[in-house]
Amino acid sequence: MSEERAPDRVVGIDLGTTNSLVAYMEGSEPIVIPGVDGSNLVPSIVALDVVDPAAENARPTVTVGNSARRALIENPERAIYSVKRLMGRGLEDVQDELKLFPFHLAEDIEAGEVLRIRLGDKTFTPSEISAYILRQLKRNAERYFGAPVTRAVITVPAYFNDAQRQATRDAGRMAGLDVLRLVNEPTAAALAYGLDRAKEGLIAVYDFGGGTFDISILKLNDGIFEVIATNGDTHLGGDDIDNLLLAVALDEIGNEHGIELRQQPDAIQALRKAVIEAKITLSSEPAVKLDIELPGGGRYQREIPREIYEQLIQPVLARTAAPCKQALADAGVTPGQIEELVLVGGSTRIPAVRVLVDQLFELSARGKKPHTELNPDEVVALGAAVQASILAGSSTTTEELLLLDVTPLSLGIEALGGVVAKIIQRNSTIPASATEHFTTGVDGQTNVAIHVLQGERELAADCRSLARFDLKGIPPMTAGLPRIEVKFLIDANGILQVTAREQRSGTESQIEVKPTYGLTDEQVESMILDSFDNAEADFEVRQVIEARLEADTILAAVEKAPTSPAWQQISDHEKSQIETARQHLIATKLSGDLQAIRAATTALDHATRNFAEKMMEAAVSGAMRGKTMQAASEELDATAPAEVSAPHPFAPAEFEESR
Amino acid sequence: MSESLDSILKLDSDYFQVFGLPRAFALGTPTLEGDFHRLSRRLHPDRFARASAEEQQWSLAATALLNDAYRTLRDPIQRTEYLLKLEGLQIGEEHAGKGKAADRQPPPDLLEEVFELNMQLEEMRMNQKMGEPDPSLQADLAAARSRFESLLAAVDSDLATRGAEWDTGDVTTRDKASKAMAALLDRRRYLRNLVRGVNEVLAA
């Protein structure tokens, strides 16, 4: 049982709607791995970099996270947030999303096809966008360990269906990760809390995140975390609150100032940012003031008291009640039987949410409080790290723990009349299987089509299409004679596998899967190779970007040079040398040649060395007499790169207020 | 390799064999949950994360079997249906389209009551459409529901009795008992659907 791979770390990843995190088990405790900027949270924002048109075979490169935030406001058509809302979905499903989110889809998407999103002049599937986020997290972990990271556990909402799970797993593969397991987010949170094996009893996890809501009821017993029932809404989260506030603001601005901002994507994003900050403030303050500069110079100023805010968002919060009641009913327990309640997700910081949860689960009535000891933004990633450790067998703390999860949706087959025959019930512990028998309707028929769906409704039209399976290679026989045994197996990731055998002849039928809203294995493979090529080229590309930015710094300073009094003090010969070096650097910058750019930068630096000294002297001895060297050099620095625009992946990011 | 895995659990076991239980309608152990947890710890794919692909595939199939077995055996009705099927009877809800007629027909002794209930349900639905609630009709329906629920309880009790007969009987007794149980299951399914229908109407 010895490992042949070089030992590498296994990490847990929370791929969230709003923020993503990567964590691992350090000794007996899971910890979150920070990014370059020291932040634990990587915003799930991806921006397509402006590609240098002069560079040959320019591959698309992207910026992820905090650095991409600015692009949302400055270049909204090249940036995307909340891509999780599009994973595993089709055109028909996302019409509501399209009204509220600035997603730009390709024009030619067919029904049942995977979505393609436009960023700039390129298109990406949701899995590819998510893969960029995963790759950033992978890099953060590798930087932290100083070693490669290739294996991960990735979390998904418990209520994600098969297509959504496959899309997540595909994203992992594209990012170069071996996805050991997809873990349901509430279950992961329970793991993080229940690490202490002494915890026993019935617990509920209320997970209200940026885009999805899950409620899970679990039984903890001697290190076994057994999910009894789960329910949720994959179209419900903090984003919906943001959109409500945004809509109100847009309407008021329209009415009060006569400005219709809805046509201005960059203004909308700026407003959205302000509205989100206000929302966060209202979790701890009784009121907040919005004060936004409008195009044209006016200001939109509005005070929002918490009571008004709560009235406004009540319908969104109320949507979490029905899934809770259904989960309790499916589990066969009353609210009073729930011993512990765990709050997960940034949206559970909202006081009105805590009031609702308290009512739904009769907490304070029984002298109980919900658990919030672990940071609700981080607890899922921490739990994923615990599961990663269980799978890797890397910690004695976790070796006896076991997660028993369930499938959230019933699995069925479309039968005659468009009715669904359920073959695996929702909340069945996974892995779970069912065996069904099919036969042919026509003499000599060599294949049989099966339509598999997920959902609780009676009619196929009201359920989620999972995939169409074509069973091929059936030996030709009289109609009704073949006995094709089809085995449906939902694996530990909650993803369906299908095998089939024609029993009379004993032949295994080949199965061709047409996943709905998904990618075939071949398509995913091709996307991996593209990403892989990018990865190798990427390091160099990053270096070139860095070198160009350095070049820009010095060019900007040199461009300002003639305005400095010291410029008069240098010879014409020197000026012309500086100008030659400057032109040379500008030309070299356009090439992708790292060494050439660096050489040209150094050359310009040398050419301006004397001038720079003179500038310093002028600053010190001239109008700024009396200032310290520090101030003088700051004055000099002030001519430096405020104008440089391309957000550099390794640039010190603006420190956002973390949630 | 596969021999040693096979000694843990044969993948062609029936659900009783998975738990080492005799085939019986009464559950032969008070420790089913504990056994389930113990076996899960041994078989679960999470325990095979570092094993070979072949072992992982085995673990997946073995755990699915374990989970299917636990889910079926812990519920008295599913257990009953399963054992009857194992013993060769055609039982259970088939797919729509190949439906067994038996559980769609009202039990002969209940024809009148069912007829009356259906009328009341129809009337109630009409009232709801028109927005004219009729409290006495509602009370009648609630009473009818109680009646059918106690009929259901009687069926469950009969099933247990027949099950015990089968568990302790000879071939002839078993044959009679299993046929009786099959009929009782049809009756139960019909009554359940009836009660569900009433619940839907009363909750609306």
Q: What is the pLDDT of residues A378-417, one digit of tens each?
A: 999 999 999 999 999 888 888 889 999 999 999 999 988 8
A330 catalytic, yes or no? no
When divided into structural domains, chain A yields a total of: 4
- The boundaries of the domain holding residue A378 are 10-196+373-403
The lowest-confidence range among A525-534, A588-597, B75-84, B100-109 is A525-534
> Is A233 a member of any domain?
no
Q: Which has more confidence, A602 or A364?
A: A364
Is pLDDT of B156 > 70?
yes
pLDDT of A535: 45
Q: Say whether the ipTM exceeds 0.95.
A: no
Between CA B73 and CA A213, with CA B200 as vertex, the angle to 5 degrees is: 70
State both tokens at A592: 């992708």
Q: Any idea what the CATH number is for the domain that residue A285 is in?
A: 3.90.640.10
Residue A317: pLDDT band by 50, 70, 90 thresholds?
A: very high
Q: DSSP secondary-structure letter at A429?
A: B
Q: Looking at the structure, do residues A613 and A628 belong to the same domain, yes or no?
A: yes
For the stretch A324-383, pLDDT in tens is 999 999 999 999 999 999 999 999 999 999 999 999 999 999 999 999 889 999 999 999
Q: Coil, helix or strand for A552?
A: helix
Q: Looking at the structure, do residues A22 and A39 belong to the same domain, yes or no?
A: yes
Decide if B37 touches A, using CB distance below 8 A. Answer: yes
Q: What average pLDDT does this structure show over A578-602?
A: 86
Classify residue A657 as exposed, middle or buried by CB count within 10 Å of its CB (0-12, 13-18, 19+): exposed
> Is A114 a member of any domain?
yes
**Which of the listed residues A276, A291, A316 is the one where a domain comes to its end?**
A316
| CA dist., res. A177 & res. A11, Å (int) | 10
Q: How far is B82 from chain A (nearest CA, A)?
A: 13
B72, closest residue in chain A (CA to CA): A428
Residue A28: pLDDT band by 50, 70, 90 thresholds?
A: confident
pLDDT of B91: 56
pLDDT of A536: 43
First to last CA, chain B: 59
Give B-chain residues touching A431 at CB under 8 angstroms.
45, 60, 63-64, 67
Q: Which has more confidence, B89 or A66?
A: A66
pLDDT of A525: 78
* Contact in structure between A413 and A451 (CB atoms under 8 Å): yes
Q: How far is A440 from chain B (nearest CA, A)?
A: 14
Q: Which has more confidence, A202 or A74?
A: A202
Residue A77: pLDDT band by 50, 70, 90 thresholds?
A: confident
Q: Any idea what the CATH number is for the domain that residue A619 is in?
A: 1.20.1270.10
> Is A599 a member of any domain?
yes
A84 catalytic, yes or no? yes
Q: Looking at the structure, do residues A66 and A178 belong to the same domain, yes or no?
A: yes
A37 catalytic, yes or no? no
Catalytic residue among A97, A185, A233, A552: A185
Q: Looking at the structure, do residues A550 and A422 belong to the same domain, yes or no?
A: no
What is the enclosing helix (H) or strand (E) of A448? strand A448-454
Residue A442: pLDDT band by 50, 70, 90 thresholds?
A: confident
| Contacts of A357 by beta carbon, 8 Å cutoff, 6+ apart | A206, A341, A343, A348, A363, A370
For the stretch A635-653, pLDDT in tens is 555 544 333 333 322 233 3
Which chain A residues touch B if contact means CB-CB below 8 Å?
A: 1, 3, 180-181, 221-222, 224, 226, 387, 390-393, 400, 402-404, 413, 415-417, 419, 421, 428-434, 489-492
For the stretch A121-151, pLDDT in tens is 888 999 999 999 999 999 999 989 888 899 9
Give A-chain residues touching B67 at CB under 8 angstroms.
428-432
Q: What average pLDDT does this structure show over A518-529?
A: 78
Q: Please indicate whether, in this complex, the C-beta atoms of B96 and A404 are within 8 angstroms of each other.
A: no
Q: Any idea what the CATH number is for the domain that residue A482 is in?
A: 2.60.34.10
| CA dist., res. A635 & res. A488, Å (int) | 71
> Is A559 a member of any domain?
yes
DSSP line for A332-348: T--GGG--EEEEESGGG
Q: Coil, helix or strand for A47?
A: strand
Q: Looking at the structure, do residues A85 and A181 belong to the same domain, yes or no?
A: yes
Q: Which has more confidence, A58 or B16?
A: B16
Mutation to test the A interface, candidates B47, B68, B86, most A Cβ within 10 Å? B68
User: Of B29, B23, B57, which is closest to residue B43 (Cα–Cα)?
Assistant: B57
Q: Please indicate whether, in this complex, the C-beta atoms of A417 and B68 are within 8 angstroms of each other.
A: no
Output Rg (C-alpha) for chain A, integer angstroms. Answer: 29
> Is A135 a member of any domain?
yes
| CA dist., res. B114 & res. B102, Å (int) | 15
> Is A56 a member of any domain?
yes
Q: Looking at the structure, do residues A145 and A19 belong to the same domain, yes or no?
A: yes
| CA dist., res. A15 & res. A153, Å (int) | 10
**Which of the listed residues A483, A503, A519 is the one where a domain comes to its end?**
A519
DSSP line for B138-198: HHHHHHHHHHHHHHHHHHHHHHHHHHHHHHH--HHHHHHHHHHHHHHHHHHHHHHHHHHHH
Output Rg (C-alpha) for chain B, integer angstroms. Answer: 22
* Contact in structure between A115 and A126 (CB atoms under 8 Å): yes
For the stretch A526-543, pLDDT in tens is 777 444 444 444 555 656
Q: Please indicate whether, in this complex, the C-beta atoms of B41 and A491 are within 8 angstroms of each other.
A: no
pLDDT of A555: 85
> Is A323 a member of any domain?
no
Q: Looking at the structure, do residues A386 and A483 belong to the same domain, yes or no?
A: no
> Is A340 a member of any domain?
no
Q: Looking at the structure, do residues A537 and A487 belong to the same domain, yes or no?
A: no
pLDDT of A539: 56
Is pLDDT of A66 > 80?
yes
Q: Which has more confidence, B103 or B53?
A: B53
Q: Looking at the structure, do residues A305 and A172 belong to the same domain, yes or no?
A: no
Residue A444: CB atoms within 10 A of its CB come to 11
Residue B101: pLDDT band by 50, 70, 90 thresholds?
A: low
Q: Looking at the structure, do residues A545 and A629 belong to the same domain, yes or no?
A: yes
pLDDT of A637: 52
Q: How far is B164 from chain A (nearest CA, A)?
A: 27
Q: What is the mean pLDDT of chain A?
A: 85
Q: Looking at the structure, do residues A87 and A181 belong to the same domain, yes or no?
A: yes
Whole-number percent of chain B with pLDDT over 70: 91
Q: Looking at the structure, do residues A447 and A499 belong to the same domain, yes or no?
A: yes
Is pLDDT of B191 > 60?
yes
Is pLDDT of A656 > 60?
no
Q: Any idea what the CATH number is for the domain that residue A81 is in?
A: 3.30.420.40
Could you tell me which residues are beta bridge partners of residue A508?
A: A501
For the stretch A163-182, pLDDT in tens is 999 999 999 999 999 999 99
pLDDT of A341: 95
pLDDT of A56: 60
Q: How far is B96 from chain A (nearest CA, A)?
A: 7
Q: What average pLDDT does this structure show over A470-492?
A: 87
Identify the top-confidence range among A97-101, A557-561, B172-176, B200-204: B172-176
